Amino acid sequence: MNAATLTTDFVSAARPRAEAPKIGKGLDSDKTREAVRDFEAFFISQMFEQMYATVPVNETFGGGNAERIFRSMMIDEYGKMTAKSGGIGLTDQVMAQILRQQESDAALSSATQTQGV
């Protein structure tokens, strides 16, 4: 992952959307959970990245640019494996929040339709 890709991902994620996708309206719950798990894996990878930044590079194995690239890929895989094996609970929390938000949106929508707004 490079800085340009990361910046592009954040910029596109920050753009407003007309309406958030709903799990109950044509969106697969399994795909949503997978996307949320990917988010958790990214979050965990970022935590690991900060941890590994404090670990000195062992020059015995070469160090340099190649080791930085390998370490980055290794940390990404650690994040994916950690999230897949239960993670830190972020997936369940985000899924619960998505469902609460949908319930809130549905209640607000039905209330405004009832009032004729």
Q: Which amino acid is at 50?
A: Q
Residue 46 lies in a domain: yes
Residue 34 lies in a domain: yes
CB 91 within 8 Å of CB 83? yes
Digit-coded pLDDT (tens) for 62-94: 778 888 888 899 999 999 999 999 999 999 999
Residue 12 lies in a domain: no
Residue 54 lies in a domain: yes
Q: Which domain holds residue 97?
A: 27-115
Closest CA to 48 of 12, 96, 81: 81
Residue 82 lies in a domain: yes
Cα–Cα distance, 82 to 87 (Å, whole number): 5
Residue 22 lies in a domain: no
Give the pLDDT mean for 91-115.
Answer: 82
Residue 21 lies in a domain: no
Digit-coded pLDDT (tens) for 8-52: 555 555 555 545 555 556 556 888 889 999 999 999 999 999 999
Cα–Cα distance, 99 to 22 (Å, whole number): 9
Residue 14 lies in a domain: no
